[in-house]
């Protein structure tokens, strides 16, 4: 639809100039934010998270487009503990224009050991075209993308534009978003929107943008297999009665086909085109040992984004050093599965637990507990917001965006979908494959930063015209 807009080229040029002129300001503000070590983990000084929230609120107030800007908290679960401070802002839509909610988080991961960093983690440093520091990308650059995009919008449209805006800058994304669901429920009216931009993901490369359209969900649980009331001498009874390890190993081996893909009936895959990515690249990126093959079938990125996977991530059994010659009565493992987009986590869990009970041999007793479920997420890319976002990416980057999946999970997205079922959700970001979020030497590519700001400014400016 933007193709038919006669002012299209003018708008791009105006915003390009505004974003370019605003870059020193955006980088300076980002640098100031990054200097505040706002680690949300409870072992760190929480005053820094408060300072960081106040700094973000001041930047939002300085835009002079919001009717309200506030720092707020919500209880964790049923309380009484409060979550970390978030920042919310809102301006009402005018003349039938839509409202967009802009999400990012101002808290950061712990920096890890100083000696693993080439420069101090909270002293932002530019080397080449990258800005290095904890939070320089994840996700203070997401915060600044929203702020700089609104600045560019006001350059192009003045501060009396029609678009409704809501802003939610979370303060504990890196610490499990523990008060997120309560926060949404308590601030539902302030945050309600027609489209939600979650600026906390990455891009295909520094030259090619991504719109994240799929996220796998997760299922984890403890599986305990038992065969005997107590341990027995393995010489006396071995060969006559089953120890717990044997049926456990047999049932675990039934979870996968011989090529390593999931063999559980009822765990589904998502059908979607994926970009080309070779097994060699996968081997290299994941540091696979010489001679070890990769697993699964179908296109490589479909295995990572659109198919389920099951992994054993822990085991409770005697250690090798303490192993005695006994038949083990009981063994427990932690199962961690990823759920393909399009399937509910609850349904995947039921398929998996049914498979375990049906395939455990010798009538061994099975117990499943400590269940944790997170739903996957799939964007409807035919929605108007996704169509506009992809067009804005193409115009800002000069390259078609990749519709990307993410193998991991962003559990709070499910909370957003639950609270705002009618809103379209756009997952964008300022990271690239060399960002190293959560790791030493995290960095932001400044060209990606500029293109991300221009993309969002274009998106907001075009949505601003939609209401007319
Ligand atoms: Zn993040």
405-414: pLDDT as tens digits: 987 777 788 8
The mean per-residue pLDDT over the stretch 49-60 comes to: 98
Q: Is the peptide bond before 176 cis (omega within 30 degrees of 0)?
A: no
4-41: pLDDT as tens digits: 555 567 899 999 999 999 999 999 999 999 999 999 99
H or E element in which residue 88 lies: strand 86-91
Quick one: tokens of 353?
A: 């637990």
Instruction: Kindly give, in sequence order, each residue whose CB lies less than 8 Å from that of residue 156, ignoring residues fewer than 6 positions away.
Output: 11, 14, 15, 18, 457, 461
Q: Give the distance (Å) from ligand 1 centre to CA of residue 109.
A: 9
CB 139 within 8 A of CB 200: yes
Instruction: Kindly give, in sequence order, each residue whose CB lies less than 8 Å from that of residue 234, ignoring residues fewer than 6 positions away.
Output: 243, 325, 326, 327
What's the CA gap between 152 and 192, in Å, rounded? 23
Q: Give the distance (Å) from ligand 1 centre to CA of residue 138.
A: 5
Bridging pattern class, strands 195-202 and 424-431: parallel
Q: Give the distance (Å) from ligand 1 centre to CA of residue 411.
A: 12
Got the DSSP string for 27-48? HHHHHHHHTS--B-STTS-THH
Quick one: tokens of 182?
A: 């309560």
Q: Give the distance (Å) from ligand 1 centre to CA of residue 263.
A: 33
Quick one: tokens of 9?
A: 């080229």
181-207: pLDDT as tens digits: 999 999 999 999 999 999 999 999 999
Average pLDDT, the chain: 94
Q: Give the distance (Å) from ligand 1 centre to CA of residue 395.
A: 25
321-340: pLDDT as tens digits: 999 999 999 999 999 999 99
Q: Give the distance (Å) from ligand 1 centre to CA of residue 454.
A: 20
Q: Give the distance (Å) from ligand 1 centre to CA of residue 283.
A: 26
Q: Give the distance (Å) from ligand 1 centre to CA of residue 289.
A: 30
Q: Give the distance (Å) from ligand 1 centre to CA of residue 59.
A: 20
Instruction: Kindly give, in sequence order, each residue whose CB lies less than 8 Å from that of residue 189, ignoring residues fewer than 6 positions away.
Output: none
- The CA–CA distances, whole Å, from 443 to 32, 124, 221, 272, 435 equal 15, 9, 35, 31, 5
Q: Give the distance (Å) from ligand 1 centre to CA of residue 200.
A: 5
pTM confidence score? 0.87
In the structure, what pLDDT confidence band is assigned to residue 458 with cuts at 50, 70 and 90? very high
């Amino acid at each position: 639809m933007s193709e038919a807009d006669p002012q299209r080229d003018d708008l791009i040029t105006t915003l390009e100039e505004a974003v370019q002129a605003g870059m020193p300001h955006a980088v300076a503000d980002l640098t100031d934010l990054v200097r505040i070590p706002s680690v949300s983990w409870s072992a760190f000084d929480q005053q820094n998270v408060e300072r960081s929230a106040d700094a973000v609120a001041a930047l939002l107030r300085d835009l002079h487009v919001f009717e309200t800007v506030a720092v707020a908290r919500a209880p964790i679960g049923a309380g009484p503990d409060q979550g970390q401070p978030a920042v919310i802002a809102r301006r009402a839509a005018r003349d039938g224009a839509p409202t967009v909610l802009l999400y990012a988080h101002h808290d950061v991961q712990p920096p890890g050991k100083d000696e693993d960093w080439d420069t101090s983690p909270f002293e932002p440093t530019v080397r080449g075209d990258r800005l290095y520091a904890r939070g320089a990308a994840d996700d203070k650059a997401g915060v600044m993308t929203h702020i700089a995009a609104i600045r560019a919008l006001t350059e192009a449209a003045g501060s009396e534009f029609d678009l409704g805006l809501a802003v939610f800058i979370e303060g504990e994304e890196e610490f499990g978003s523990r008060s997120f669901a309560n926060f949404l429920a308590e601030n539902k009216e302030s945050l309600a929107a027609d489209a939600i931009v979650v600026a906390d993901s990455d891009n295909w490369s520094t030259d090619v943008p991504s719109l994240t359209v799929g996220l796998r969900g997760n299922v984890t649980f403890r599986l305990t297999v038992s065969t005997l009331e107590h341990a027995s001498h393995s010489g006396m009874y071995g060969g006559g009665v089953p120890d717990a390890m044997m049926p456990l190993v047999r049932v675990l081996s039934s979870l996968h086909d011989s090529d390593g893909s999931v063999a559980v009936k009822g765990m589904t895959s998502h059908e979607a085109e994926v970009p080309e990515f070779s097994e060699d690249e996968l081997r290299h990126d994941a540091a696979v040992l010489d001679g070890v093959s990769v697993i699964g079938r179908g296109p490589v990125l479909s295995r990572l984004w659109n198919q389920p996977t099951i992994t054993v991530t822990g085991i409770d059994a005697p250690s090798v050093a303490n192993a005695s010659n006994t038949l083990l009565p009981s063994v427990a493992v932690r199962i961690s599965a990823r759920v393909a987009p399009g399937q509910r986590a609850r349904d995947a869990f039921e398929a998996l637990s049914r498979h375990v009970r049906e395939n455990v041999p010798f009538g061994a007793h099975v117990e499943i507990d400590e269940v944790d479920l997170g739903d996957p997420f799939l964007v409807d890319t035919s929605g108007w917001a996704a169509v506009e976002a992809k067009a804005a990416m193409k115009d800002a980057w000069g390259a078609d965006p990749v519709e990307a999946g993410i193998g991991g999970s962003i559990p709070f997205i499910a909370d957003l979908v639950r609270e705002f079922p009618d809103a379209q959700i756009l997952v964008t970001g300022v990271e690239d494959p060399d960002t190293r979020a959560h790791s030493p030497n995290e960095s932001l590519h400044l060209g990606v930063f500029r293109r991300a700001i221009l993309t969002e400014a274009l998106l907001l400016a075009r949505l601003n015209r939609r209401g007319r």
